[in-house]
Amino acid sequence: MDYLELLSSRRSCRAFTDEPVSPEDVQKLLLAANGAPVGSNLYKDLHLTVVRERAILRDLSRAAVERRRDKATMDKIVASIEGGRESNRAPDPFYGASTVIFISHRKQDLQPGIEYANAACLALSMHLEATALGLGSVFIWGVLEAMRVLPEFDRTELLGLPENFEPLLGVAVGYPAKPLPARELRADRLGVDFLPGAEA
């Protein structure tokens, strides 16, 4: 499978079976994260936390469940998504995934914003490895955002992070509840400009 074929096979999965991801496959996902590019080669500023315990995931989801009570805000978020998918209102913010890998970064202000770039690189690498393994995966953002918006429901201490680290993204992984057909890759989804001399 070449890269573009793998990329077209990667689909966001929002419904998983109860079948657990094997420890061997979890290790492959972690290896993929370790192989991702990181700004200034500062891998020491990143940390991964693997959560497979449903009770912990339920506690971490409390802020997201509470935030959904703000219907006006949630309607705006759903409306901003291409196609306005209602999947953002799934009862379980982790979509029933058996494994969630949280990506945390050391707090810093020397290179503002690089932490999100680094976390996204790790997340994409794990998404692609999950696809190669026949697993489904999906970005987890709303749960962590909700804990920042509603600090009274912040349960990040459950992740046992190193001092001065904060969780930025998650990747939920598991076996898809239904087949995920490959998507057509399109070259018109992003705006592109060619400066003089750079024309394709």
- Contact criterion met (CB below 8 Å) for 167 and 159: yes
Please report, for the domain that includes residue 22, its CATH number. 3.40.109.10
DSSP, res 41: G
Give 179: exposed, middle or buried? Use CB within 10 Å, 0-12, 13-18, 19+: exposed
- Contact criterion met (CB below 8 Å) for 49 and 131: no
The answer to whether residue 197 sits within a structural domain is no
The number of folded domains in the chain is 1
Tens of pLDDT along the chain (200 residues) come to 799 999 999 999 999 999 999 999 999 999 999 999 999 999 999 999 999 999 999 999 999 998 888 777 766 666 766 555 554 455 799 999 999 999 999 999 999 999 999 999 999 999 999 999 999 999 999 999 999 999 999 999 999 999 999 999 999 999 999 999 999 999 999 999 999 987 76
The answer to whether residue 187 sits within a structural domain is no
49 has which bridge partners?
Answer: 102
The answer to whether residue 17 sits within a structural domain is yes
CA 53 to mean position of chain CA atoms: 18
**Cα–Cα dist 191/189, whole Å:** 7
* Residue 86 lies in domain: 3-174
The answer to whether residue 35 sits within a structural domain is yes
The answer to whether residue 93 sits within a structural domain is yes
Kindly report the pTM of this predicted structure.
0.91
